[in-house]
């Protein structure tokens, strides 16, 4: 018994100390990480679906793994801490996280989204939630006045703004603090999809947002080997409702995938340091290439969102989009690369390039795509952690080949 108390005291002290650590250290030391029974330094994978109960009907910490699981719990507590919230929830994909979040609303409610919202978010709103009576409206989030007007005209029906910053694939920056404040003025929630930035670069809850969510498939997992979603909130009542939705609808993340994410998150800081430094250098280099008409990267001083970006995020991130000049064959550039893989998705250790017009945004009708500023000459590069010189040489070779 005394031994047990000593262990408990040690864990408490460790936890208190953990809270005073820098973010880089907190990535490595998750709350409740390790295992008191054997001293594991990594979180054990608890595959169990059920838990033996000491007596009938006596409440215990875990009773069935859909409702809670110790491996998943470490990850859920960790995303809450990293985002500066109080509660986190892990789902089987980013879309499951978005679906659970949208399930907070009721028929007759409205959600406001920008015209360049993530395609899957648009799809689930248009082809799924609309059928349940949840309405949505599209406005340009760079135009705060337009957002205010939509909120005013909805007379309280709009219950949430759901947005990303920077956006995909043109990396437009929106003002998270200003939009959150505006949402609150009209009694709506600010929901931020923080996939592109991660809590390492940007923490929306600290900027006033109410819900932050992730496709953890991208930077948090970081190795293109797990599909997952996370949600974090700082409000107890919201947390309770989200937990109910997670438990009731069941889109949970498995113990093994939860483990993979805790493993990926440990290197988030070092991966992003490398990738963002390379992205900044590549963006500057791309601007000088005769085959490149325009570079979209919020880390560049002349990017229209640069000033907001540096107040709300640590740097410009690790995604760079660029438009080729008229004579250059974008598809040939995309297929002439030898190091960078032509693939959808982003945020992995390996660099990935995509041609939005034929890949991520192929289902958007061409006129609408043009209206959104996504030309056939646009490429989006997710900078990985290879040596920057190899990435530059790869791009140089492909640009030369396609000219
Ligand atoms: C990939 C992505 C999603 C969807 O996540 P999945 O894990 O693929 O379900 C949502 N939002 C953004 C910004 C994404 O990039």
* Substitution candidate for ligand 1 out of 93, 95, 317, 354 with most atoms within 8 A of CB: 95
In ligand 1, which atom is closest to the CA atom of 217?
A: 7
Length, in residues, of the chain: 403
The answer to whether residue 268 scores a pLDDT higher than 70 is yes
- Mean pLDDT over residues 133-153, rounded? 95
pLDDT at position 31: 87
Residue nearest to atom 4 of ligand 1 (CA): 94
Residue nearest to atom 14 of ligand 1 (CA): 215
Q: Are strands 378-382 and 319-324 parallel, antiparallel or unpaired?
A: antiparallel
Question: Count of CB atoms within 10 A of residue 64's CB?
Answer: 12
pLDDT at position 365: 86
Residue nearest to atom 1 of ligand 1 (CA): 215
pLDDT at position 2: 75
Alpha-carbon gap, residue 91 to 72, rounded angstroms: 10
* Substitution candidate for ligand 1 out of 118, 169, 214, 225 with most atoms within 8 A of CB: 118
pLDDT at position 330: 96
| Residue 371 CB burial class (10 angstroms; 0-12, 13-18, ≥19) | exposed
Q: Tokens 């740097």 label which residue?
A: 315
Question: Ligand 1: distance of its center to the CA of 39 in Å?
Answer: 35
Nearest in space to 129 (alpha carbons), one of 151, 104, 92, 155: 104
89 included as an active-site residue = no
Give the best-scoring range by mean pLDDT among 5-19, 33-47, 223-237. Answer: 223-237
pLDDT at position 131: 97
Decide: 30 and 74 in contact? Cβ < 8 Å.
yes
Question: Ligand 1: distance of its center to the CA of 197 in Å?
Answer: 12
Question: Ligand 1: distance of its center to the CA of 185 in Å?
Answer: 29
* DSSP 3-state of 234: coil
* DSSP 3-state of 41: coil
Q: What is the per-residue pLDDT across 85-141, written as a single tens digit (0 to 9) for each?
A: 999 999 999 999 999 999 999 999 999 999 889 999 999 999 999 999 999 999 999
66 included as an active-site residue = yes
135 included as an active-site residue = no
Decide: 302 and 268 in contact? Cβ < 8 Å.
no
Alpha-carbon gap, residue 271 to 266, rounded angstroms: 10
Q: Model confidence at 398, in pLDDT bands (50, 70, 90)?
A: very high
Question: Ligand 1: distance of its center to the CA of 400 in Å?
Answer: 33
pLDDT at position 1: 59
Buried b (16+ CB within 10 A) or exposed e, 126-152: eeebeeeebbbeebebbeeeebeebbe
- Mean pLDDT over residues 205-215, rounded? 98
Q: Please tell me the pTM assigned to this model.
A: 0.96
In ligand 1, which atom is closest to the CA atom of 168?
A: 13
Helix H, strand E, coil C: the string for 105-160 is: CCCCCEEEEECCCCHHHHHHHHHCHHHHCCEEEEECCCCHHHHHHHHHHCCCCEEE
Q: Where does ligand 1 bind, in terms of residues with CB under 6 Å?
A: 93-95, 118, 120, 164, 168, 193, 195-196, 215, 217-218, 227, 229
Residue nearest to atom 7 of ligand 1 (CA): 94
Alpha-carbon gap, residue 89 to 83, rounded angstroms: 12
The answer to whether residue 45 scores a pLDDT higher than 80 is yes
Q: Which of 89, 109, 118, 394 is catalytic?
A: 118
* DSSP 3-state of 64: strand
Question: Ligand 1: distance of its center to the CA of 21 in Å?
Answer: 30
The answer to whether residue 380 scores a pLDDT higher than 90 is yes
In ligand 1, which atom is closest to the CA atom of 96?
A: 9
Mean pLDDT, all residues of the chain: 95
Look up residue 319 and give its two tokens.
Answer: 């995604």
193 included as an active-site residue = yes
Out of 22-31, 236-245, 299-308, 384-393, which region has the weakest mean confidence (pLDDT)?
22-31
Q: Model confidence at 399, in pLDDT bands (50, 70, 90)?
A: very high
Nearest in space to 75 (alpha carbons), one of 199, 272, 260, 246: 260
Q: Which of 218, 274, 369, 380 is catalytic?
A: 218
Q: Which of 14, 35, 63, 66 is catalytic?
A: 66
Q: Which residues touch 163 (CB under 8 Å, ≥6 apart)?
A: 113, 114, 117, 141, 174, 179, 191, 192, 193
Alpha-carbon gap, residue 382 to 338, rounded angstroms: 15
The answer to whether residue 35 scores a pLDDT higher than 90 is no
Look up residue 84 and give its two tokens.
Answer: 């500066």
Q: Model confidence at 37, in pLDDT bands (50, 70, 90)?
A: confident
- Mean pLDDT over residues 304-331, rounded? 97
Decide: 261 and 229 in contact? Cβ < 8 Å.
no
Helix H, strand E, coil C: the string for 295-360 is: EECCCCCCCCCHHHHHHHCCCCCCEEEEEECCCCCHHHHHHCCCCCEECCCCCCCCCEEECCCCCC
Out of 56-70, 189-203, 360-374, which region has the weakest mean confidence (pLDDT)?
360-374
Q: Report how far apart, in Å, the C-alpha atoms of 395 and of each of 263, 308, 339, 398 are.
A: 31, 29, 9, 5
- Mean pLDDT over residues 289-305, rounded? 97
Alpha-carbon gap, residue 6 to 143, rounded angstroms: 57
Question: Ligand 1: distance of its center to the CA of 215 in Å?
Answer: 4
Decide: 389 and 337 in contact? Cβ < 8 Å.
no
Question: Ligand 1: distance of its center to the CA of 220 in Å?
Answer: 12
Q: Which of 33, 109, 193, 257 is catalytic?
A: 193
């Amino acid at each position: 018994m005394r031994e047990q108390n000593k262990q408990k005291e040690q864990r408490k002290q460790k936890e208190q100390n953990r809270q005073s650590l820098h973010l880089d250290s907190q990535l490595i030391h998750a709350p409740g990480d390790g295992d008191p029974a054997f001293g594991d330094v990594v979180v054990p994978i608890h595959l169990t679906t059920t838990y033996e109960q000491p007596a009938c009907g006596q409440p215990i910490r875990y009773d069935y793994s859909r409702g809670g699981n110790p491996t998943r719990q470490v990850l859920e507590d960790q995303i809450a801490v990293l985002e500066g919230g109080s509660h986190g929830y892990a789902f089987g994909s980013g879309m499951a996280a978005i679906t659970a979040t949208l399930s907070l609303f009721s028929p007759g409610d409205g959600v406001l989204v920008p015209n360049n919202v993530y395609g899957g978010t648009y799809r689930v709103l248009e082809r799924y939630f609309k059928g349940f009576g949840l309405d949505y409206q599209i406005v340009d989030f760079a135009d705060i006045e337009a957002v205010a007007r939509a909120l005013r005209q909805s007379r309280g029906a709009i219950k949430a703004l759901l947005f990303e910053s920077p956006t995909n694939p043109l990396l437009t920056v929106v003002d998270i603090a200003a939009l959150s404040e505006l949402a609150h003025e009209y009694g709506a929630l600010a929901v931020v999809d923080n996939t592109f930035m991660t809590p390492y670069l940007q923490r929306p809850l600290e900027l006033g947002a109410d819900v932050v969510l992730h496709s953890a498939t991208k930077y948090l997992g970081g190795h293109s080997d797990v599909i997952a979603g996370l949600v974090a909130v700082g409000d107890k009542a919201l947390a309770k409702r989200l937990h109910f939705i997670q438990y009731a609808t069941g889109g949970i993340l498995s113990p093994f995938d939860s483990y993979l994410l805790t493993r990926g998150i440990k290197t988030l800081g070092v991966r992003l340091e490398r990738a963002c430094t390379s992205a900044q250098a590549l963006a500057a280099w791309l601007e000088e290439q005769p085959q490149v008409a325009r570079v979209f990267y919020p880390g560049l001083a002349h990017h229209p969102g640069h000033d907001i970006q540096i107040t709300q995020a640590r740097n410009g991130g690790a995604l760079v989009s660029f438009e080729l000049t008229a004579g250059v064959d974008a598809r040939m550039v995309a297929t002439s690369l030898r190091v960078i893989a032509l693939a959808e998705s982003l945020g992995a250790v390996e660099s990935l390039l995509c041609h939005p017009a034929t890949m991520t945004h192929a289902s958007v009708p061409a006129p609408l795509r043009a209206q959104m500023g996504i030309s056939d000459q646009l490429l989006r590069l997710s900078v990985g952690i290879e040596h920057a010189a190899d990435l530059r040489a790869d791009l140089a070779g492909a640009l030369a080949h396609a000219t």
